[in-house]
Structure 1
Amino acid sequence: MKTVLITGANKGIGFATAKQLAQLGYYVYLASRDKQKGNDAVSKLKDGGLLNVDAIEMDVTDLNSIKQAKSELELKIAVLDILINNAGISGEQPQNSSTCAIANLRQVFDTNYFGAVQTTQQFIPLLKKANLPVIVNVSSEVGSLTLHSSPARNSNWDFYHAYGSSKTALNAFTVMLAHEYRNTKFKINSVTPGYTATDLNQSRGTKSVEEGARPIVKLATMEHNGPTGKFFREEGEVPW
């Protein structure tokens, strides 16, 4: 049974992704900052008949917490097949670049960018043992510089400059890491769930979390001939 680790998996898109992957037969580890919330999420899945799930406490902004989670996971598995960097925050709005508080910007980057980077770095050794190691970085259209430069750019994006720039940085990490591992079995991509109703947007999104999880699951379960170093949404590739 292939193993999956999903950060920020106790609710929202992360939880929906965990549920869909568990339904497909993967053994899913739901990582969350709050141990009790993680356990509650796992209990909910088990009550629904999905027994191939487990909770793990991990704060992606705390390197020691990540290392502890890694040590705990290594006692349970010898191989990690899939890492999904889903944990993210939107930060305080508005976030116009000319006025956004630096503390707000740092907090957003700490979770959305640095959190994903240091989590990936810690779990690379376990991923290397997989036959087809997959890393999926959950990004956003707001991170696309091409879409930001388009005349059709959504004016509401002005409220998410900190969030958007953190996702642009995450996309850069995707490209560079994929290039670093270009001659290996690794498949490393970014994906946007689309405008999904979650806590990040006060549930104003137009897609359900189940719909938002679908493109993540699709990338996570790719075959050996799948893409790497790309940015996708459910409808297809997204320009950087």
Structure 2
Amino acid sequence: MTTTLITGANRSLGLETARRLIEAGHTVYAGMRDLASGDAVAALGAIPVQLDVADQSSVDAALASLPELDVLVNNAGILGTSFTADDLDADAMASVLDTNVVGIVRVTQAALPLLRRSAHPVIVNVASGVGWPRFLTTEGTDEFPVPAIPYAASKAAVIALTVQYAKNLPGFRVNVSDPGYTATDFNRHGGHQTVTEGTDATVRLATLGADGPTGEFHNRAGRIDY
């Protein structure tokens, strides 16, 4: 049995990822800041775990509660409060980076001892095409109209840290996914993809075999070339 931890698993993309991985036979621990919001994941058969990626003590306690771990899906993230250069300040930037980037490092570092005991350790970091400069600068893409600086910068950092983790952990499969423009609470359900379509890349990367790729960026169509 494959044991998987998903952060931010109580709604939207995280909840759908939990559903699909349970369907694939995984035992899923569903991380969330507030266990009171865990009814939906519990109904799927996942095990709710209190986990706030911005709180080191919460991260440490959550990982200490797991008996084993094979797959880590770093899904938790925030959009932030700044959407243009005019409303941006250092605190708004720091808040998004702390959750979206440093939060991944907190969870991953705490998870490494368990993952290293796995015969086939896998890490999937959920980023976004909004962190990909080619998409941000190409008219006609979903990403081109996005003006927000902190969210884009944080997702660019997630892509880079994934590549570096993959280089540092050669026995792991470490990859990063782009859900695409998916209808979620983030965009007031304005995206043109369903949550199932939005989790295609994440689920595929979470279920890789030992001979699968590592250090790659994928969306639901496959690898995104650097």
Normalised-by-shorter TM-score class: over 0.9
The answer to whether structure 1 residue 67 and structure 2 residue 60 are counterparts is: yes
Residue 153 of structure 2 corresponds to 165
Task: Check whether the contact 2:42–2:48 (CA below 8 A) recurs between aligned residues.
Answer: no
How do 1:176-187 and structure 2 match up within 5 A?
176-182=164-170, 184=171, 186-187=172-173
- The equivalent residue for 2:125 is 137
Structure 1 residue 140 displacement after superposition = 0.3
Aligned equivalents of 2:167, 2:35: Cα separation in 1:
35
Distance in 2 (alpha carbons) for counterparts of 1:43 and 1:188: 27
1:138 CA drift (Å): 0.2
In structure 2, what residue type is equivalent to 1:224?
Answer: A
RMSD: 1.5
Equivalent AA in structure 1 for residue 47 of structure 2: D
Q: CA deviation at 1:220?
A: 0.3
Paired with 1:130 and 1:146, the residues of 2 have a C-alpha distance of 36
Tell me, in whole angstroms, the C-alpha distance in 1 between the residues paired with 2:203 and 2:75: 12
2:192 maps to 1:206: yes
Instruction: For residues 102-153 of structure 1, give each alpha carbon's deviation from its aligned partner in whole angstroms, at most 9, with x where no partner exists.
Output: 2111111111101011100000110011111000000000111232344555
> What letter is aligned with 2:16?
A
- Other-structure match for 2:203: 217
TM-score, L = length of structure 1: 0.89
Please say if residues 135 and 144 of structure 2, whose CA atoms lie closer than 8 Å, have aligned partners that are also in contact. Answer: no
| Equivalent residue for 1:105, pick from 70, 84, 93 | 93
Q: Which residue of 2 aligns with 1:41?
A: 40
Amino acid at match of 1:88: G
Supply the distance in 2 between the matched residues of 1:24 and 1:155 (Cα, whole angstroms). 35
Q: Write the mapping of 1:21-60 to structure 2, written as runs, cut at 5 A.
A: 21-38=21-38, 40-45=39-44, 51=45, 53-60=46-53
- Unaligned 5+ residue runs, structure 1? 46-50
SS of equivalent residue, structure 2 residue 183: coil
The aligned residue for residue 103 of structure 2 is 115
> Share of identical aligned residues, percent?
40
Aligned length: 225
Unaligned runs of 5+ in 2: none
Report which stretch shifted further, 196-205 or 4-13: 196-205
Contact 1:13 1:198 in 2 (8 A): yes
The 1:239/1:152 distance shift into structure 2, 3 A limit, reads farther
Q: SS state of the match for residue 63, structure 2? A: helix
| Contact 2:184 2:195 (8 Å CA) reproduced | yes
Question: What amino acid does structure 2 have at the position aligned with 1:180?
Answer: N
Equivalents in 1 of 2:153, 2:61: separation in Å? 29
Deviation at 1:215, TM superposition (A): 1.3
The AA in structure 1 aligned to 2:98 is: D
Q: Deviations over 1:132-186 (max 9, x none)?
A: 100000000011123234455544211x22101000111111011101112x2x0
Q: Distance in 2 between matches of 1:152 and 1:84?
A: 30
Check whether the contact 1:146–1:239 (CA below 8 A) recurs between aligned residues.
no
1:48 aligns with none
Tell me what 1:95 maps to. Answer: 84
Looking at structure 1, the residues matched to 64 and 43 of structure 2 have their Cα atoms a distance apart, in angstroms, of 25
User: In structure 2, the residue corresponding to 1:156 is in which secondary structure?
Assistant: coil
In the TM superposition, what is the alpha-carbon distance from 1:232 to its structure 2 partner?
0.4
Counterpart residue number, 2:114: 126
Helix, strand or coil at the partner of 1:31: strand
Q: Is the CA contact 1:144–1:239 (under 8 Å) kept in the aligned structure 2?
A: no
TM-score scaled by length of structure 2 = 0.94
Name the SS of the counterpart of 1:197 in structure 2: coil
